[in-house]
Structure 1
Amino acid sequence: MSGDRPIEDVLDTIGDEHAREVLAAVSREPLSAKELADECDLSKPTVYRRLELLEEHDLVTDRTLVADDGNHYKVFESNFESTVISLEDDEYHVRIYRTGNLSDRFSELWDELHAE
């Protein structure tokens, strides 16, 4: 992911106060945009803009649920575990670790090792 986007984009997203609030809230439990707006004391448009940024960087995922009345709505959850920023040969590299099962993470690592 970080190889596809400039480091500044990733850092700007993580550095945004509202994006961090949204990410922290969905790391505790899956929440809808309305619940996020209430939890973070933000407007719904602000929540949606931050969710869009976080989704661009694959830091949150969404899934659709069906309410008791039959209406559909999305809940968002964190796909972010940690970030490592390194400097090698005068070049910055950002590695974002996402939540997921161990076999998926091992496969990603294996693919990265063989790509170099």
Structure 2
Amino acid sequence: MDDEVPIEEILNTIGDEHARTVLASISREPGSAKELAERLDLSQPTIYRRIDLLQEYDLIKERTLVADDGNHYNEYTSNFNSTVISLEGDEYDVRIFREENLPDRFSRLWDDLGVN
């Protein structure tokens, strides 16, 4: 998560009932906006607004799939494993833990070592 994002914005996003519902659903099973609208009994515009909000903070990922009829559609899934919100003194800290793939982890380690 970008350290520049104000904590309040992340908490507001997580605090939105529909955003939490969408996030919980795609954490269990990826889905398109249409599938999510049907699964959650919400309108597609509501789903798309929450998808935009969750994408803004990199909480979900999107991939484009091709249907049997050749049409393209986007499928959404959660982009993290867990979130920890802690309070120290009068300040909140939000940590988002993501599962990294091995090449990304190796690249970051390489960069951290300063090896060129």
For 1:39, what is the secondary structure of its paired residue?
A: helix
The one-letter amino acid of 2:66's match is V
Q: Which has the larger displacement, 70-79 or 88-97?
A: 88-97
The one-letter amino acid of 2:59's match is L
What does residue 43 of structure 1 align with?
43
The Cα of 1:68 is off from its aligned counterpart by 0.8
Report Cα offsets for 1:67-105 as digits up to 9, x if no partner. Answer: 111100000011121112234575432111123335646
Q: How does 1:1-116 map to 2 (within 5 A)?
A: 1-88=1-88, 90-101=90-101, 104=104
Rg: which structure is higher? 2
The one-letter amino acid of 1:68's match is D
For 1:74, what is the secondary structure of its paired residue?
A: strand
TM-score (norm 2): 0.82
Across the aligned residues of Structure 1 and Structure 2, the Cα RMSD in angstroms comes to 2.7
Which blocks of at least 5 consecutive residues in structure 1 are unaligned? none
Q: Which has the larger displacement, 64-73 or 85-94?
A: 85-94
Which blocks of at least 5 consecutive residues in structure 2 are unaligned? none
Percent identity (aligned)? 68
CA 1:54/1:106 → structure 2, altered by over 3 Å: closer, same or farther? farther
The one-letter amino acid of 2:74's match is K
Equivalences, count: 113
The one-letter amino acid of 1:17's match is E
